[in-house]
Amino acid sequence: MKPAQALRRPLAVTLFLLMLASAAASRQLRGITVSGEAFVSPKPWRHPPSFSIPQTLHSLSARPASNRYQQHQSPVTLPAFDHATVRAFFSCRASDHGTSSHVHSARGSGATDRPHVYSPKLRLTTVLSILFWLLSMFPYMHHSRGGIHRFQKLRYAGLLSFALGLPTLVPKVYRALLVRRKVDSSCMMLGASIGAVALGDYAEAAAVSSLFAVSEVLEGRASSKSEEALSAVARDLGPGTARLLDDDGEGELETRVPADTVAVGSAVSVPVGEKVPCDGIIVAGATTFDESTITGESRPVRRSSGESIPGGAVNSGPARIVMSTTAPSGESTVARLSRLVEDSKRNRSQTETTVDRLAALCAPPVFIAALLMCTIPWRFGPTAGRRWSRKGLVAMVAACPCPLVISTPVTYVAGLTNAARSGIIMKGGAVLEALAKVKSVALDKTGTLTEGNFALRHLKLMDNVKRKDTLEHLALIESPSSHPLATALVEAARNEGAIVPKDVVVKNHTILDGEGVVASIGDKIVHSGNTRLFQRLGLFEALPEKDKELADKWAAAGETVGFMSIGDHGIVCSYSVADSVRPEAKDVIHQLHDLGIDVYMITGDRKEAAVTIGSQVDLASGKVYSGLLPEEKLDVIEMKKAASKASGGNVLMCGDGVNDAPALALADVGVAMGGGAALAMETSDVTLTGQDLNKLLYSIKLGKRAVRIIVQNFAFSLAAKAIVVGLAAVGVHSLWVAIASDVGTMLIVTTNGLRLLPSARQNQ
């Protein structure tokens, strides 16, 4: 029989099955719209979110920054965020086994496309496909026993198995070839299946289609597990409703409203067991709050009337409180964290991008080469044709980069979920990758190495200056500032009974970066700040020598020294405030050194105070950079980046203040302490939701672990591919071996990546 005649019937059967598969897939593909590279499914969510998130690129300084991430600025409601997290996760995962071009993008049109890779229908067809595949193998199992003729007809069960896999394969091939005009692994799998059917090897065709379906289920399971973990993080961040009180809190009537509709200044009731919907101030009642979701503090914190409370905290009892909201839901602490978590799924790492590009570049030539191997040798006879066709089909399957492509996003999403559950919000897998390369860490002093809880230690008045008037002026000029030092001065004035007259107006209050503050109080200009400010004003030189020596003594003890001047009177007082070093700071620095990381302190404080704090955490004086303005901090970061560039290392900056924001943006990795300024949180790559420096250490270790797992997955995947190619070269060219190797490798690398998901103990 001629080769053409031998192939006629299998090809006819294959074409008929393809027609059936296309008809079955038409319902799934109906209504699809294409915009650029985005593939948008019309299938709605169960509860479709109705919000849009305009994206803006923040520019914090004229200096070029190495990390710039897109920020969402409009409010994001928490019910919608639960959907946005899942949708954003699937916008970065490789659900079609092969290239980044299959990404279902929700950007642009705002449509939602929930993948069906773990649907019950897919699982059912996968089970049936495997059963028919096993039936098709009976003739081969009984060949040695002389029973091949008895089970001969069971060979055709392989065609049923192949047909059951077509509704999964055909839509993917349609999108790849006709929508994106690219060849991916689904094209290779379909080509290998059709080739096996054409050769009459129905069992091998069934092996390709059924095991490909198994890989889809495995990938869907991995994605589903990560999705559930991310959704749990979203649910923990805050409530969807608020109990709004009538008559500004004077009445008892409560109305449940969506949290994002609560206006600033509204009176809201928070009963025991419920979450605070927005940032606010308690106006009635006293109770304890569980703020672990926001700050990571496991112990309940007691708060009473007049104290602020962040959105997302849980009223642990024993009493209901009434609060006045100070920020809309979309601008609260919990909403900022929500946006940071959402952003983390949109920023793909360099490794993911590189792997996808390599897969996209390698797939077409391999596919074409395999087609040539399956066609040209037939000119030299059926024996050569069948032998080389089998080799070509094995090459198609072996060249599929499924394990390589899926292992990276699964590992990074698992790592991001682990970090979020630990109170560490990262802006994408790129940050995990950058953390793994950190070789230098620059730490701010105030609020980072220290607790940021200042207390007034000394207040030295100049001659003929009244203490009461001085404290009143300090309270007036410092109260608009959120700096911890200003808070300490205002608190000290309040504790000493300083009363600020209501008729006094503070005008033109201005924060002088790295120096202090200035304002007009009455008809006088008042300055409060550090030595640098008064040296610039020319007032420090007039200070008596004994007062200068006293200030030096305070600074040598590790205290922060400041002065205040009023009008033409010059400096009227000097003061010092002290902060305590974080108890974990010394141990964290030692562990960073053990990882081979250099640690530095950069601060705007005086050298004496900075060196004293440095000595308490075992930082040598050469590792302390003091007296720095915000722009001078940038110079230090640039210097460290230039020094680390030769070794391929990254520079990490950790701070919490507004003046740290430019340095956080310039560093390779910017880390903001969660209790700091909102601007620092928005411009950083990592936000620590609390005041524990151990989280900084954990984030670096997590990044190193994620990259280590990816390297393991790469090595194992490439080794498995090499073994299959080697077996084919020596004559063992079985599709069963190739597809089993592909699916087995995917199972192993996916399971390995999922090890980064938080454990049950960590979730508690």
Active site residues: 444
Alpha-carbon separation of residue 647 from 95, 599, 643, 651 (angstroms): 36, 16, 8, 11
Please give the single-letter amino acid code of residue 222. A
Q: Mapping DSSP to helix (H, G, I), strand (E, B) and coil, where does residue 420 land?
A: helix
Q: Is the peptide bond prior to 318 cis by the omega test (within 30 degrees of 0)?
A: yes
Closest alpha carbon to 521 in 537, 533, 504? 504
Residues 739 and 207: beta-carbon distance below 8 Å: yes
Contact 270, 276 (CB under 8 A): yes
Greatest Cα-to-Cα distance within the chain, rounded to the nearest angstrom: 119
H or E stretch at 723 = helix 694-729
DSSP lists the bridge partners of residue 529 as: 516, 563
Residues 705, 738 contacting (CB under 8 angstroms)? no
Sign, Cα dihedral of 110, 217, 398, 384? negative
By C-alpha distance, which of 573, 304, 579, 346 is closest to 444?
A: 579
Strands of 174-286 (E only): list them: 241-245, 254-258, 267-270, 280-284
* Residues whose CB falls within 8 Å of the CB of residue 429, separated by 6 or more in sequence, listed in order: 92, 347, 348, 349, 351, 352, 408, 409, 412, 413, 415, 416, 706
Q: How far is CA 414 from CA 288, 438, 656, 747, 761, in A?
A: 33, 21, 27, 15, 16
Distances in whole angstroms, Cα of residue 280 to Cα of each of 276, 460, 542, 673: 9, 36, 45, 21
Long-range pairs for 46-50: beta carbons < 8 A, 24 or more residues apart:
47/79, 47/83, 48/83, 48/112, 49/79, 49/80, 49/83, 49/84, 49/112, 50/80
Structure tokens at 720: 């498995």
Give how far the C-alpha of residue 445 lies from the chain's centroid of Cα atoms, to the nearest Å.
26
How far is the CA of 400 from the CAs of 137, 208, 473, 745, in angstroms? 24, 12, 72, 12
Structure tokens at 320: 């209901």
